[in-house]
Structure 1
Amino acid sequence: MPQIEWLDQYSVGVESIDNQHKELFERVNRLLNACAQGEGKRVLPEVLDFLGDYVVFHFSTEEKYMKEYLYPDYLAHKKEHDSFVETYKKFREEVEKEEAGVAAVIKTNRLIVDWLKNHILGTDRKLGTFLKEKMQLK
């Protein structure tokens, strides 16, 4: 399975947020590598555990910045975060019921990779532009 490569276009310009995004990419790539080696089912629970914890940590970092700098789109951005957390929880329950089969691995890749790329390129880049300007003024 192809890796998801960190590209400059994913940078939001806020180092702590970019570093967290890079860590998410690295973990997803670990799953993709495991899938390519036929080990996806073994690694999936570990990756899902990490994502469950790390996404909450990452979202709280972004939300802290949004509150601190009075980001005007805070509610809409937070709603996207909350929606992803709910989607993740439902998906995690499905995986645990079905066991970590190949279909679950593929679905995980699609869910996480697509959401991550779209969220970063849209919502997070807008936040980054706002934060860079506010942080320079401070």
Structure 2
Amino acid sequence: MTEVTRIEWTEKLKTSHAGLDNQHKELLTMVNELGEAVQQGEGAATMKRLFACLLSYADWHFRYEEELAAKYQCPIAERNLREHEAFRQLIAKFEQEYKAARAAALTGQGSPEALEALAVTFHRHLVDWMLNHIAVVDKQIGEYVSAVTAEKAKAAVAC
């Protein structure tokens, strides 16, 4: 059985923005689902299914986050865009590698073990990206939006 990192929702991942946090928890669930499948030797099948789910998640969540960062003119908005593109490229890279490894396995030039090893590597990359992106970039966006919102509310009450 392969040991993988299970991500727990902690203060480190909270962004001070409930909408972002709820959406991030959905990503956390998908990444942990892959981790559990890897531990059971079913990582390749789950990885294949998750490619479309992760790209769909990226489409709606990144749009929400990018619009939020633009609306409040977050200073880290450009870095956020770059990291979102890196996430999409990560998914595309592993999807291509999966297809190549699957084709090799079907023709006898590869093995199911290679697909499972790819799932382990994919999971590790997802965990690293998620922990680094959310705990750094998204946290700054959430805190910035919360601070601006609080300042506007304070100014409105003062009138």
Distance in 2 (alpha carbons) for counterparts of 1:114 and 1:98: 23
The alignment's C-alpha RMSD in Å is 1.5
Q: Which residue is equivalent to 2:90?
A: 87
What aligned pairs does 1:1-138 form with structure 2 within 5 A after superposition? 1-99=4-102, 101-136=115-150, 137=152
Q: Which residue is equivalent to 2:157?
A: none
CA displacement, residues 19-55 of structure 1 (integer Å, 9 cap, x when unaligned) = 1111111111111111222221221111222111102
The one-letter amino acid of 2:60's match is: F
- TM-score computed with the length of structure 2 as normaliser: 0.80
**Greater gyration radius:** 2
Percent of aligned pairs sharing the same letter: 30
3-state SS of paired residue (2:9): coil
- TM-score computed with the length of structure 1 as normaliser: 0.91
Q: Which runs of 5+ in 2 are unaligned?
A: 103-111, 154-159
Contact 2:31 2:127 in 1 (8 A): yes
Greater than 3 Å deviation, 4+ residue runs: none
* Matched pairs, number: 138
Cα offset for 1:117?
0.2
Q: Which runs of 5+ in 1 are unaligned?
A: none
